[in-house]
Amino acid sequence: MNSCRPPAPALSRRQLLMAGGAGAAGAALPGCAAPPAALPAPPSGSPTGYDDGGTVQAVSLTVNGEPRRLELDTRTTLLDALREHLGLGGTKKGCDHGQCGACTVLLDGRRINACLTLAVMHEGSQVTTIEGLGAPGRLHPLQAAFVEHDGYQCGYCTPGQICSAVGMLDEVRRGVPSHVTADLTAQPLLSAAELRERMSGNLCRCGAYSNIVEAVAQVAGSRA
């Protein structure tokens, strides 16, 4: 054990880069390495001790029909704005990489992965989460169908599944084709293949896919 090696301080990325030159020079000398360069005093008011470069910006959204104004770090995702700043925990954080669909919400009527977009990009937009679709006593038809067909088990993916299905059915009504639509000029029909393709961005870890398909198909048929 090298008795002359000081305890490693907790360094931020910026501090590490600042001290990198001195550390590299010291490593080339025989014997004990030179102590790390003195760190600058943390700025007052910084919650993390050191300024990490964040910028705060105001953004106004209409969330579930209610105007909301937030002061957010410009790097805050729409998902974190909904969950951490507005307390809407129905929208779930799954993979946080846009791969599972658990965070799906409706943005100006179209489905979107809330983890892949920044809140400040959507000034003036309307956001609908699972809380805005329905609640006990006034369930959205898709929520009621999921209950009827047991379209969930643990329930973690369910809010994203339902929001995605709402957006998907609207896409079908607007004639938006999918990757399995045979005739791009015709009004798409919600066949089993179309339904599964259009919902393929929403994963269910419990494997309740057949029940989810039945629930969505029921609502699609009632709205046809």
What is residue 40's predicted lDDT score, i.e. its pLDDT? 54
Does 35 score more than 90 pLDDT? no
Residues 6+ apart with CB under 8 A from 202: 100, 101, 102, 104, 157, 160, 161, 164
Percent of all residues in the chain with a pLDDT value above 90, rounded to a whole number: 69
Better-predicted residue by pLDDT, 43 or 80: 80
The pLDDT value recorded for residue 113 is 98
Q: Are 66 and 129 in contact (CB under 8 A)?
A: no
The token pair at 216 is: 């969505």
What CA–CA distance (Å, rounded) separates 152 from 162?
A: 11
What CA–CA distance (Å, rounded) separates 7 from 15? 16
Is 77 in contact with 66 (CB distance < 8 Å)? no
Q: What is the CATH number of domain 56-223?
A: 1.10.150.120
The amino acid at 50: Y
Determine which helix (DSSP H) or strand (DSSP E) holds 222, and give its type and residue range.
helix 209-223
pLDDT greater than 50 at residue 149: yes
The sheet with strand 66-73 has its strands ordered as 66-73, 56-63, 126-128, 104-107, 110-113
Give the tens place of pLDDT for each residue, 162-220. Answer: 999 999 999 999 999 999 999 999 998 899 999 999 999 999 999 999 999 999 999 99
- Cα separation, 174 vs 198, in Å, equals 14
Residue with tokens 């846009």: 98
Which tens digit of pLDDT belongs to each residue from 64-78? 999 999 999 999 999
DSSP single-letter state for residue 63: E
Residue-wise pLDDT for 38-55, tens only, equals 545 544 444 434 456 679
In the chain, beta strands by DSSP E:
56-63, 66-73, 104-107, 110-113, 126-128
pLDDT at 27: 46
pLDDT interval class at 221 (50, 70, 90) = confident
Q: Is this model's pTM higher than 0.85 or not?
A: no
